[in-house]
Chains A and B, each alone.
Chain A
Amino acid sequence: MDPTHLQTVGLLIDIFAAAILVTAFLVVSSRSLVFYIRLFALQSFFLGVVALLVVLGYGETHILIAAVLTIAIKAIAIPVVLSRVIERIHVRKEVDFSINIPASLLLCGGMVILADSVAHSILDAQRADAPAVSRVLSVSIAMMLIGLFIMMTRKKAITQIVGLLTMENGVFLSGLSITYGMPLIVEVGIFFDILVAVLILGVFIFRINKTFESISIDSLRSLRE
């Protein structure tokens, strides 16, 4: 590997990591459920591209399968399933928030700063020949926090799933950034776990909608005979 090649790959990884972070922020800034799903697909696609860049730049071929699986499952399969669920339940907008959008965006901005300071204390302990991709550790921690934040503040069950998936993307990115990805068998296990979870949750949302005539998690508190 010549250094200019590595530098180009490093720059591209930075750009796509920034794009991933931006998609997470756009999810926080919007109300349309369809838009959430599209953004999540885009986010997963960028994640797949980052994984592919790690393969190209550092020759870690075992990530290739994980990258392809990321694009196939998270950028295509899961969005398709979720879009079908949205079509069937006729709920298109997230209307009530616990925290309004401008305040949410500011809080998430604060979380990025927090994530960066946390990541720095981790990275400082790392060895000196750390790969360029470790810089995206802050982005991945921020993604986990933002995913958790989405789950806490949004009321629609679909959005909860998007929050969960955003957190999962963050976990994958952090694995990628510190150790060039977890062992393949773990990754594959997680992928199918997530896929099945989304399938089950999709059916679950459909049933919730049928029983409560709403997918707002607030109405889950009232019990029905």
Chain B
Amino acid sequence: MSDVPAIVLLSLLQLLLVLASAPLISGIIGKTKARFQNRQGAGILQPYFDLAKLLRKEVVVSPVASWVFRSTPYLVFASTLVIALLVPTVVVPVPLDWVGDIITVIYLFALGRFFVALVGLDTGSAFGGLGASREMSIASIIEPAMMLAIFTAAVTAGSTNLSVIVATLSSTPASMLNPAHLLAFSGLFIVTMAETGRIPVDNPDTHLELTMIHEAMILEYSGRYLAFIEWSSQMKLAIFLALLSNMFFPVGMATTLAPWALFVGCAAFFAKVIVLAAIVAVVESTNAKLRLFRVPELLMVAFILSLLALILYFIVGA
């Protein structure tokens, strides 16, 4: 996989896959949640229509907003796209795996979050500042938990390179059932729920509650700006689900570029991500949103699960 055209083609394919499947995953979660509430719910393609509609609408910008407000949607979108290039989805190793490892991924997410928090403050609305301060205080607890969970997988593989982690794990399937591994998976799952603004931490469906976090920061956005922000959050969810499934259960991933292997890889990717999306929807439907002051307790549980995973790795061994 050293020739340039193959690398470019494969990277484009991966980019398109994440871009195109992200709204579908949100649609599936929305549909599952609707069924739980005994509603018919919108079709699973609804997020595509929403994005198309938003992209056509006019943009309204507050006169006090600065360049940060206008550039952030593109910045967040671009950083998410770069992450989409680095995370193994269908093929392993990812063609651009020499560009950055898991720490790059974490900090690219942090970059996006930093600018979205700035936007919350930029327009000077009360809601924005409130959302930004909440987002940053929660992020300061999410990050160590996420790091520990990911480092457990990295220690097992002896590398922080995502492709190496995935490849090592798929060559020793027995270690997928290692208790350290399972604990790190549950830790990262809680982190995913918090990081993508899902129900025990934040409610993605509301624009009216005083408890909102992510929605409060992007309240001032409209038109294509909103479309890019929404699309980035959907991709963020897709990327986290891909991380959860491939870093811990890399079953059926393509290791060659044969068409059949790629097809199996795509099918496995969608199967795993849809199962995880359904689990996310079940968790969202069966839990109430936590009070903001209780969120640190939940995230501390995630942190401790990851810490236990790391300790157990040394107790039990891989």
- Residues B182 and A18 in contact, CB atoms below 8 Å apart: yes
> Which single residue of chain B is at the shortest CB-CB distance from A25?
B304
Contact of A29 among B177, B300, B311 (CB under 8 A): B300
Chain A binding site: helix, strand, loop or mixed by DSSP?
helix
Q: Mark B21-57, 1 if CB is under 8 A from A, else 0.
A: 0000000000000000000000000000000000000
A77 contacts B by Cβ under 8 Å:
no
Given contacts A11-B174, A22-B183, contact A135 B304 (CB under 8 A): no
How many chain B residues touch A (CB < 8 A): the figure is: 21
- Minimum distance in angstroms from A40 CB to a CB of chain B: 18
- Residues B301 and A25 in contact, CB atoms below 8 Å apart: yes
A15 proximity list for chain B (CB < 8 A): 177, 179, 182
- Residues B305 and A101 in contact, CB atoms below 8 Å apart: no
A138 contacts B by Cβ under 8 Å:
yes
Given contacts A15-B182, A22-B183, contact A105 B308 (CB under 8 A): no
A94 contacts B by Cβ under 8 Å:
no
Of B297, B311, B315, B316, which is in contact with the most chain A CB atoms at under 10 Å from its CB? B315
- Residues B311 and A22 in contact, CB atoms below 8 Å apart: no
B278 contacts A by Cβ under 8 Å:
no
> Which single residue of chain A is at the shortest CB-CB distance from B300?
A102
- Residues B315 and A109 in contact, CB atoms below 8 Å apart: no
- Minimum distance in angstroms from B141 CB to a CB of chain A: 9
B100 contacts A by Cβ under 8 Å:
no
Given contacts A21-B308, A113-B311, A135-B316, contact A106 B300 (CB under 8 A): yes
- Minimum distance in angstroms from A210 CB to a CB of chain B: 32
Q: How far is the CA of A106 from the CA of B301 in the complex (A)?
A: 9
> Which single residue of chain A is at the shortest CB-CB distance from B177?
A11
| A93-133 interface with B by 8 A CB criterion | 101-102, 105-106, 108-109, 112-113, 116
A26 proximity list for chain B (CB < 8 A): 301
B307 contacts A by Cβ under 8 Å:
yes
Given contacts A14-B179, A18-B179, A101-B297, contact A106 B304 (CB under 8 A): yes
Contact of A112 among B300, B303, B308 (CB under 8 A): B308
> Which single residue of chain A is at the shortest CB-CB distance from B317?
A135
Q: How far is the CA of A22 from the CA of B182 in the complex (A)?
A: 11
- Residues A109 and B308 in contact, CB atoms below 8 Å apart: yes
A101 proximity list for chain B (CB < 8 A): 297, 300
Given contacts A102-B297, A116-B315, contact A108 B182 (CB under 8 A): no
A49 contacts B by Cβ under 8 Å:
no
A215 contacts B by Cβ under 8 Å:
no
B98 contacts A by Cβ under 8 Å:
no
| B157-174 interface with A by 8 A CB criterion | 174
| A10-38 interface with B by 8 A CB criterion | 11, 14-15, 17-19, 21-22, 25-26, 29
> Which 10 pairs, one residue from A and one from B, show the smallest C-beta to C-beta distance?
A18-B179, A102-B300, A105-B304, A101-B297, A109-B307, A15-B179, A14-B316, A29-B301, A105-B300, A14-B179
Q: A14-B316, A29-B297 are in contact. List 6 more A-B contacts (CB 8 A).
A: A11-B177, A11-B178, A29-B300, A105-B303, A109-B307, A109-B308
10 A-B pairs with C-beta separation under 8 A: A15-B179, A101-B297, A102-B296, A102-B297, A102-B300, A105-B300, A105-B301, A116-B311, A116-B315, A135-B315
